[in-house]
Amino acid sequence: MLLTLARIAWWKLLTGSINDPAFAGRASERPIRGDVPPLSRVDASATAGNAIAMARTMAMYVRFVSKRGTVARFRASLGDRHHTSRSLCINRHKLRRKNQRSADWMNRVLRGIQPTSPVHSSLEKPAIGSCPRHHCQIDQHPTSRLLLACPDRPGLIAAVSGFLADAGLNIVDADQHSSREGRFFMRMAFEPAPAEERAELYERFATQIARPFEMEHRFAESSEPKRLAIMVSREDHCLSDLLWRWRSGELGADLACVVSNHPDHADQVASLGVPYHHVPIDGDDRKVAEQRTLELLGKVDLLILARYMQVLSSEFLQQLAAPAINIHHSFLPAFVGADPYARAHERGVKLIGATAHYVTKELDAGPIIDQDVTRVSHRDEIEDLMRIGRDIERLVLARAVKAHLDDRVLLDGPRTIVF
């Protein structure tokens, strides 16, 4: 019965039965329980019946509060059918924005002004910021990125944000973390300053903020693609995945070259217009091969070991002067050496996975960037384990590379902070 009366009142409102200019008050100042608005908001010429109808209509359609405690959409009063789990995740700020749009639309109707669009079409637009971070449009616009680490203390976020505010730069994304050891880590993305002003701005930040707070920091520009190189051996599943992501623009970086100790992938890489260098490695000439590789790589910002099955010397890493990311199965340290999947199958493992980490002098012991696992069973043969493992390795390596290229990784001793 109540629903029928509400529909009748709404129809009268739309057809002009309640279109007196006296009702041109603030629709946002709405009653929540269907009470009659204060007399000060209703002109004396308005009849009591019209005032009550208007109040009930506003209560039901401008601010309908469902039994779940969230503001429903336009059709929510018709059985509350349009609630979804996504609506429960929308924060109060976005709900207020939606409510205000519906209230503005109601004001225009009460004033006799034809609204530009139906209220439900404006409410059903995706809420700003409702997408996950890694799927938002933030990374598609040029930004400057600040990464810092320092001893934790009050006022760090206020100091950094205040500095950027004084410089007239808007913050578009921010993440921070305080460790139990008393260290503070933060990544902040903000609108870039003009290119000719950046050097002076960054110098002032180092003097006014970084030095007093003992910060280790660096700035990066999303508009300046990083230069990366790939090293690979016979297995090409990680190489093929990275080439596809690079070609589609997902990595947002420049691929300088691919270096391999086998000639197997020359045609695949050359078909994409990427230089492919075959540098065979002999036990007696390892140093010569490494030196040749360094000459071919040149100056790179990141080296990716996409299943490169050779151990790089500490001298090579030192002369490279750039971070390197490696990918391997997650059986370590249980199954070290060749044929790890066969020995894992013999032991009847129930989980297999992959680990992506930075390369250090100590073999396979660098700071971990990303990991993943999946369950297997006794029904999976060795070939099944290898196939599943390759899929995980591709995904984990791609996530680690993307996190590094997006300047989301900070080092905290032997571990990483990944925002």
Annotated active-site positions, please?
364
Q: Euclidean distance between the first and final Cα of the chain, in Å?
A: 53
The token duo for 388 is: 């599943």
- Tell which residue, 21, 14, 27, 20, has the closest CA to residue 55: 27
At CB < 8 A and 24+ separation, what contacts does 88-96 make?
A: 89/130, 90/127, 90/130, 94/127, 94/128, 94/129, 94/130, 95/70, 95/71
Q: One-letter amino acid identity for 359? A: V
Where do runs of H (alpha helix) occur along 79-137?
A: 92-110, 119-123
CA quadruple 55, 59, 63, 64: dihedral, nearest 10: -170
Helix (H, G, I), strand (E, B) or coil at 239: helix
d(CA 327, CA 343): 19
Sorted by sequence, the CB contacts under 8 Å of residue 164 that are 6+ apart come out as 170, 171, 188, 190
- The helix (H) or strand (E) run that includes residue 26 is none
In the sheet that 216-221 helps form, which strands lie side by side, from edge to edge? 171-178, 183-190, 144-151, 216-221
φ/ψ of 125, rounded to 5, equals -70, 145
- Judged by phi (left if over 0) then psi (alpha if -120 to 50, else beta), residue 364 lies in left
The token duo for 295 is: 């000459």
In the block, which residue shows the tokens 């609630």? 83
